[in-house]
Homo-oligomer: A and B are copies of this chain.
């Protein structure tokens, strides 16, 4: 949905929101910067305290030898796959049909790196061990996205992950984690980040999803791999003279929200149940395994949009800022829980859901 449409506007005019950490105003950056002395020195082309200390902190957190800060995950992941492909001499990787690389990056991986992706599994479900066992071509790397965002944030069982990891190690296939939302799945798996990452050769983590920073990403792995990624970072034009605006905010909100992921996850489970009790609505997954899920409305987008606008206006509480058609009969919203959810009283929350249920019944 584009800006300046009535639906998005109605969301932006709400006083409280069920989803997210609040609007992305410049206050987010100001708050992080205000913690610091004015004279703190900028990083310069990858050197300096801000970037070096944060990279070390993230390497430790992820249980990897080394880490490097990137302006974007798009850049970090293409580069990770390129390094693994160059190392093996095979320009093929495997990932899910709805991987960020496949649908959101204008084919950068193919056009800039001449890497051919092999799409695993049906697009409506997770990659399972069987899909990996069935790969009948030589590949350099398998990328797993945890959780799989475009299908509501689903996860394989941890046993499946372990089995895929073992298989890849045996076969000399590098395993890369698209961990944009890694923090958000740790409570469900009941694992530390380092435990999950130990199954992977390389890991990417984003700082503006559950963590809620301004932008930026970390790529982590062995020292040689990370050193090579810095050369590619420069080639891509990502070795900026100063990345501190992103690093400072990543660090600040990481510290602030690292321990709130359990709460977001529980909130998501609670909220999904409320949606599932509404007429002609179900969530995917039925029971969330992270802070996110999708709401599927069994009604045309125009009608659901009108319902949501009315609820936003009547209650002053925003349900979602996004609404997309699946077909003429069904549309969906992506829900990500953050700090805002717990600011809404149970009474108001139930009022919103009651209105939604009644409106869907009345269609």
Q: Which A residues contact B (CB, under 8 angstroms)?
A: 3, 23-30, 33-34, 36-42, 44, 47-48, 70-76, 78, 105-108, 111-113, 208, 214-215, 231-232, 234-246, 248
Contacts and interface: CB of A to CB of B under 8 A. Distances in A.
A208 B241 contact: yes
Contacts of A105: 234-235, 237
B42 A235 contact: no
A74 B231 CA distance: 13
Ranked nearest first, the 3 interchain pairs of A and B with the lowest CB-CB distance are: A75-B237, A245-B245, A108-B235
A238 B237 contact: yes
A91 to B, nearest CB: 14
Contacts of A237: 70-76, 78, 105, 108, 236, 238
A235 B112 contact: yes
Contacts of A111: 235
Which among A73, A75, A78, A241 has the greatest number of chain B C-beta atoms within 10 A? A241
A214 B42 contact: yes
Contacts of A107: 235
Given A71-B237, A74-B239, A215-B242, 9 more contacts: A24-B242, A26-B39, A30-B38, A70-B237, A72-B239, A75-B236, A112-B235, A236-B237, A237-B238
A33 B38 contact: no
A26 B42 contact: yes
A42 B208 CA distance: 13
B38 A24 contact: no
Contacts of A112: 112-113, 235-236
A32 B357 CA distance: 47
A36 B42 contact: no
A71 to B, nearest CB: 6
Contact of A36 (B26, B106, B244): B26
A106 B234 contact: yes
Contacts of A73: 237
Contacts of A25: 38-42
Given A105-B235, A235-B107, A235-B111, A27 B23 contact: no
Which among A40, A73, A106, A243 has the greatest number of chain B C-beta atoms within 10 A? A106
B24 A231 contact: no
A27 B47 contact: no
A66 to B, nearest CB: 19
Contacts of A240: 71-72, 215
A6 B118 CA distance: 53
A231 B106 contact: yes
Contacts of A24: 41-42, 44, 242
14 contacts: A24-B44, A25-B42, A26-B38, A26-B40, A26-B248, A28-B42, A30-B38, A42-B214, A72-B237, A74-B239, A111-B235, A214-B241, A215-B241, A215-B242
A238 to B, nearest CB: 6
B236 A3 contact: no
Contacts of A231: 106
Contacts of A234: 74, 105-106, 108
A132 to B, nearest CB: 27
A166 to B, nearest CB: 31
